[in-house]
């Protein structure tokens, strides 16, 4: 004998309820997204004065186009290095005015490709400017700039008085 089929009631439910752990994960992801949205390189952790050089704060928009700069103090000079890929020395200008060293550069590139089936024309332009307030003791008449393999190096020699003012102090055992 065949058994009669029984019908089971079907329950319709609303959308699945999020558990507390899923809500916490969702909140954590929102907080991490907010941190990345508010991230501003160079707005924190960098001092505004290095070796006496006044370093201006760089906004996020400027950070995307401004070159990377290294500032090093050596025995008799300060040295500023800037990475300027794709530029030539003729596209870079350095000026000194009122103890402010300004480095400017501009890049312009045009590409044109004509074929039988298409025509492609691209133009890219961009410029940057970085300024540094020089510390006392830099010999402005002997500043030297060199450009090699996409790196600009500006050497700022110290004056005799600035070199003489430095003094090594001996550390003695207690």
Give pLDDT tens digits for 100-151.
899 998 888 788 888 888 788 887 778 888 888 888 888 989 999 999 988 9
pLDDT digits (tens, 9 = 90+) for 59-98: 544 445 677 888 898 888 999 999 888 888 898 999 999 8
The residue among 56, 60, 58 whose CA lies nearest residue 40 is: 60
Displacement of CA 99 from its chain's centroid (Å): 24
The residue among 92, 94, 98 whose CA lies nearest residue 134 is: 98
Q: Look at residue 11 and tell me whether its pLDDT is greater than 70.
A: no
Q: What pLDDT, on a 0 to 100 scale, did the predictor assign at position 124?
A: 75
What φ, ψ does residue 50 adopt, rounded to 5°?
Answer: -125, 125
Indicate the domain borders of the chain: 49-165
Can you say whether residue 27 is alpha, beta or left, with left for phi > 0 and alpha for psi between -120 and 50 degrees? alpha
Q: How far apart are CA 154 and CA 138, in angstroms?
A: 12
> Which architecture does CATH list for 49-165?
Sandwich (2.60)
Q: Which two tokens stand for residue 166?
A: 């430095």
- In angstroms, the Cα distances linking 158 to 48, 54, 69, 161 are 21, 17, 20, 8
């Amino acid at each position: 004998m065949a058994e009669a089929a029984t019908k089971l009631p079907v329950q319709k439910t609303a959308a699945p309820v999020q558990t507390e752990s899923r809500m916490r994960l969702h909140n954590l992801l929102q907080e991490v997204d907010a941190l990345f949205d508010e991230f501003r390189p160079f707005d924190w952790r960098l001092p505004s004065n290095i070796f006496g050089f006044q370093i201006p704060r760089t906004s996020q928009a400027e950070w995307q186009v401004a070159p990377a700069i290294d500032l090093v103090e050596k025995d008799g000079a300060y040295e500023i290095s800037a990475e300027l890929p794709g530029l030539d020395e003729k596209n870079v200008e350095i000026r000194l005015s009122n103890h402010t060293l300004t480095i400017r550069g501009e890049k312009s590139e045009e590409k044109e490709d004509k074929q039988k089936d298409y025509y492609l024309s691209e133009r890219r332009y961009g410029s940057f400017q970085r300024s540094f307030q020089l510390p006392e003791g830099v010999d402005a008449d002997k500043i030297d700039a060199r450009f090699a393999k996409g790196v600009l190096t500006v050497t700022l020699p110290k004056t005799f008085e600035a070199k003489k003012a430095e003094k090594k102090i001996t550390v003695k055992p207690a």
